[in-house]
Chains A and B, each alone.
Chain A
């Protein structure tokens, strides 16, 4: 069954002096429970596409539907995680993780408990009354993940969520996120420019070419890598082969 359907997306940004086409003719489908990556050099409109999928901007042309519902009519079915944690510094951790529920007026005791359990699973139990400035970068990004998951979104979008972290923290968080999403059976889209991260975490990789952003090629991650945790996948023998073929495609894109 098709879970997320992106059909014929064109998007052009208008300014006083120019009209820039960011995305051109993008069509793809994502199955339920699948983890896919959008990979590509900067300027290929990955973040624009995420904003369109999240229903934050309406595309110039084309439609996006989640379970046959157009996304701009949905509320709180799609979770969005940004490059930095963007925790609200004046809110405690508790207030931060319950923010989504509060905004959508769906804060019940049961859902509050669910959010606290998630925080506990992320190894951050007991931090509820602290403020974001008292936490390290990795901890803050985990809190941001809890905040996104607390509203129980059907689709999770990760916009380079690990890019602002140091390498070690990044590897650890990749494992944690991958494990958490598998446990809850969430469908996820990861935007990244890190080939390794895309291979290690996803089931399928969509490679984009820039100016205007187009879908260049789709890679299927081999079965034996899909079931491994990201850290182990990076050490598997099938990993360098896929890395090489994606690397070559990226070179092709740049040569054009």
Chain B
């Protein structure tokens, strides 16, 4: 009985030490946040850094308030988020579709192999000017940029995952007389599901790059436009504000996809 109590006590101590560690980690995380923004503010106020270039948190905050109140921030944000969401969803979907076509025809996959390598090594944003001339300076060409940066790497990653599915699963299906379509639907695609979801996560980041660069080039609206406009009129408070908003929303989007991953994978494999 006495031993039981002792174990209970040790367990309590262990839990307390875990909790304490967690509190310390959180404390330092918040400390870095405060020191960074307070340091920035103080340095800017005292002109240790050029306030014209580096602005200050209070100025960025003030501009944020103005832009939220007159609603103009939401217009730009809405465009950019819509473009990014379409970009990474379509990029992932299209990449998976291309991977399926490559899996379907090994000969086609052999033929296209060097072209995929070239397309993958090429910086896709360099295609921006051509896209904009071809499709017009509008949302379509920006979404295309978001798709372009993610589609080839998705194709390659997902196709590799298709090829690495344990052949014995296919053997089981073949003994039941499965067609190639059934092999794909029952084994290849579901087995690669975790890879596709994790590609989605990478593509969120890639699509932000494509969309922001697209908005730089098109220069009519969106957070990318805010940056390029702020740069041209030398209003770096505006530039920094868009950076902060991009950081926040890119994180939110990434977390949402991570959440989606958790839900889907849980249903799929346990």
Contacts and interface: CB of A to CB of B under 8 A. Distances in A.
Dominant secondary structure of chain A at its interface with chain B? loop
B176 A151 contact: yes
A103 B176 contact: yes
Interface string A84-104: 101011100000000110011
A82 B172 contact: yes
Interface stretch (B48-56, B81-89, B140-148, B185-193): B185-193
B258 interface: no
A131 B265 CA distance: 13
- Which of B168, B177, B182, B193: most chain A Cβ within 10 A? B177
Given A86-B168, A88-B190, A90-B193, A103 B270 contact: no
Interface string B157-168: 000000000101
A54 B191 CA distance: 25
Contacts of A104: 176-177
B188 to A, nearest CB: 12
Interface in A147-167: 151
B14 interface: no
Contact of A133 (B166, B172, B176, B269): B269
Interface size class of B (residues with CB under 8 A): 20 to 34
A76 B176 CA distance: 5
Contacts of B269: 89-90, 131, 133
Contacts, number: 50
Dominant secondary structure of chain B at its interface with chain A? helix
B180 interface: no
A56 B186 CA distance: 18
Contacts of A17: none
A210 interface: no
Contact of B270 (A82, A86, A131): A131
9 contacts: A54-B175, A80-B175, A86-B166, A86-B172, A89-B269, A90-B190, A90-B269, A103-B177, A133-B269
Given A56-B175, A86-B171, 7 more contacts: A75-B177, A79-B175, A80-B175, A88-B187, A89-B269, A90-B190, A90-B191
Interface of A: 54, 56, 75-76, 78-80, 82, 84, 86, 88-90, 99-100, 103-104, 131, 133-134, 151
